[in-house]
Structure 1
Amino acid sequence: MRLAKYLAHAGVASRRASELIIADGRVTVNGKVVTDPARDVHDELTVKVDGKRVKTSSQTLVVYLVNKPAGYVSTAKDPQDRQTVVSLVPSSQRLYPVGRLDFDTTGLILLTNDGDLAHKLTHPSFEVPRTYRARVANAPVNEPALKALRDGVLLEDGMTAPAKVRNVSSGVVELTIHEGRKRQVKRMLEAVGHRVYTLERVAFGPLRIGSLQPGEFRKLGQPEVERLRELG
């Protein structure tokens, strides 16, 4: 198994983040620093990250659905010592978020120690749908603006893919996208004349936030995890 994938299986970080950890020289294999994420490894070798041994064989893979409150960062640790979404779930497992929500964005985010699943759910090629509910200025969002969002709008980093969009009520609009650009929903709505006051993610793939209150979480059952694995 490649080293980056091994670290992801061991719950150290997502595969992409594991590649960065390896490149930083923080990983040793049998006492020697390895900076090649494609290096083949297995559990009979001694793999350490920051001096602490990691193994995959005894790792129980878990996924939690969390209702992220505003004011939390979507990382496992924060250099500015802000509150993190990982701190909301008391667990002996080493968890990390699947993707990110902005500091002031609320709603559904997944935490897991399954690096392969996290990679699949966040990689653009799998086009996992994400649904957001936004409260916007200049309500209501009229039909020309809705059509523009459905067709795709031009942002500074290129044209967006078509979105599914509907008015929920006056001043509240729901968008479903399958891209993961930075602040994408906010920028799309601003591009059609509607600044976003609040933004909540209410669905991720087949999962919905349901009745979970901000700060609450639940562990996904195996059937739900399998549905996530089948995406793409």
Structure 2
Amino acid sequence: MVERLQKYIARCGITSRRKAEKMIINGLVKVNGKIVTELGFKVAPGKDLVEIKNQKISTPDAYVYYLLNKPRQVVTTLSDPRGRRKIIDLLPEVKERIYPVGRLDYNSEGLLLLTNDGQLTNRLTHPRYGITKTYLVLVEGQVNKNTIRKLAKGILLEDGPTYPAKVKLLELRPQTTLLKITISEGRNRQIRRMCKHVDHPVISLKRICFGPLELGDLKSGAYRKLNNEEIKDLKKVCGIK
């Protein structure tokens, strides 16, 4: 059986299919010793030798799934030229080569899924599947009902209008407001930009749900394996049997 090169790379758990396509276009991928830049190129897993940056890749022997409560001031990337603390530093006992599904920016915290299941990663991050993400968001100032309606309806950002969101007022304080916001997109710093657009900059942001997954009472910096039911639910929401 043959499959497209970018799909195979994603299935190996290296990165998402879209990022794999960029790697191919940029000449970072070799098949049987030759650089391949054609997105339609197909490989036979187990027969063809595929390398990224001269490192052989292959599908993992078994898929693993971890849920991490990411603290603030930790980068989601697996390497950082500035020497900041990385999420992988929080999982020293995990021996498998795993990758984050999506991202949480440096000053955000909460639920982050890590896995070596490339197909699941691709589905969970692809806009077509509309996987929801829920956040507790503390913003500056008192947010009124009209502003909540604006956020829920959609905000016109520099990269286009946002999809409708669910916005719930949890607590109105003298100088701040606590909101619960659920979105179905994965744009960079989306909620921070939405709130800034309506003149209520974000003070703190914590992801508490990702699709069917819930953070629960997992302590900051701690992680755990997903149970079989959670894995089944994740696959179900993105159409994997």
Question: Is this a same-fold pair by TM over 0.5?
Answer: yes
Which residues in structure 2 correspond to 1:40-51 (within 5 Å)? 40-41=42-43, 42-51=45-54
| Structure 1 residue 182 corresponds to structure 2 residue 184 | no
DSSP 3-state at the match of 2:237: coil
Aligned residue type for 1:121 = L
TM-score (norm 1): 0.92
Q: Which deviates more from structure 2 when the two are superposed, residues 67-76 or residues 28-37?
A: 28-37
Identity score, percent: 43
Offset at residue 160 of structure 1 (A)? 1.7
Partner of 1:216: 222
Q: Distance in 1 between matches of 2:181 and 2:194?
A: 10
TM-score (norm 2): 0.89
Partner of 1:52: 55
Q: Distance in 2 between matches of 1:23 and 1:59?
A: 28
CA contact (8 A) 2:28 2:53 kept: yes
Q: Distance in 2 between matches of 1:104 and 1:144?
A: 28
Q: Distance in 2 between matches of 1:160 and 1:20?
A: 25
Which residues in structure 2 correspond to 1:93-172 (within 5 Å)? 93-139=96-142, 141-170=143-172, 171-172=177-178
Cα RMSD of the aligned pairs, angstroms, is 1.6
Aligned length: 230
Q: Which deviates more from structure 2 when the two are superposed, residues 169-178 or residues 186-195?
A: 186-195
DSSP 3-state at the match of 1:201: strand
Q: Distance in 1 between matches of 2:33 and 2:159?
A: 43
Q: Distance in 2 between matches of 1:137 and 1:202?
A: 20
Offset at residue 178 of structure 1 (A)? 0.5
Partner of 2:8: 6
Aligned residue type for 2:194 = M
Segments of 5+ residues of structure 1 without an aligned counterpart are none
C-alpha distance after superposition, 1:128-170 (max 9, x if no partner): 111011111112x221111112222222222222111111122
